Amino acid sequence: MLWIYPDLESLSHAAADLFIRQAKECVQARGRFSVALSGGRTPRRTYELLAQPPYRDRIDWPRMVVFWGDERCVPSNDPRSNARLAREALLDHVPIPAAQINPILCQASPEEGAKGYEALLRNFFQNGPPTLDLIFLGLGADGHTASLFPGSPALKEQTRWVAAVFREEETLGRVTLTPPFINQARAVAFLVAGADKAETLRHILQPPPDAFPLPARLINPASGQLHWLVDRAAAMRL
């Protein structure tokens, strides 16, 4: 489903509403709500809204379990940390038990961080299918999402849920959820804002016949919902 909003503010309110709807449905159905958060600039406003009334008062926070879609392997207080962004904008302001917040820990070693996070997820889902209730994702101008970049071996992963990622142009490693795991989710929501994403978004949603498949095109939940929440600037080429 594609939803187009006038600007980032209205997009963020819509994303917060989706978050609340999904949380309520999942808590009522299964007694908990599991979500994977995204980094980047676009979701920050959504997190800020969720941390404030009236949104804050509409969520059963103690029944929420938080994961991340990807992480840069930097210290937890580094400005580039996705976990730090979520803590500052949302998690430090709501009553989620600390034991239910699961950041990706990979500063020492991306490979060991990926193995550890997969083990954590497999333990969490040991009594059922590996199905997160909601995954927030962003979109890069190069078509990447989470830390799934063009040409990365992680794009071809078929069995692992979590992978270490290395890019020649960066001096740090990353850890990311893989497409097979993301595609098991009950709902995936891309939050996309800005004119610099317009051409990329067009190639994903309206790909030319000979278009090279950008990483974000690999995300298509097997039996869940796929939401594209975009602002008018990002949708200008559709």
Domain boundaries, the chain: 2-231
> What DSSP element (H or E) covers 116?
helix 110-124
Give the contacts of 132 (CB within 8 A, at least 6 positions apart).
Answer: 34, 35, 36, 67, 184, 185, 186
pLDDT digits (tens, 9 = 90+) for 101-160: 999 999 999 999 999 999 999 999 999 999 999 999 999 999 999 999 999 999 999 999
| SS3 of residue 218 by DSSP | helix
Going from the C-alpha of 139 to that of each of 33, 46, 188, 197, 198, the distances in angstroms are 24, 16, 13, 8, 11
> What DSSP element (H or E) covers 139?
none
CATH value of 2-231 in 3.40.50.1360, 2.60.120.330, 3.30.300.30, 1.10.1740.10 = 3.40.50.1360
| SS3 of residue 143 by DSSP | coil
| SS3 of residue 133 by DSSP | coil
Enter the tokens of residue 112. Answer: 């060991």
Query: How does DSSP classify residue 184?
Result: T
E strand residue ranges, the chain: 2-5, 33-37, 64-68, 70-72, 134-137, 162-166, 173-177, 187-192, 225-231
pLDDT at 205: 94
pTM, rounded to two decimals: 0.97
- For residue 169, pLDDT over 90 is answered with no
Residues pairing with 36 in the sheet? 67, 135
pLDDT digits (tens, 9 = 90+) for 57-114: 999 999 999 999 999 999 999 999 999 999 999 999 999 999 999 999 999 999 999 9
pLDDT at 171: 87
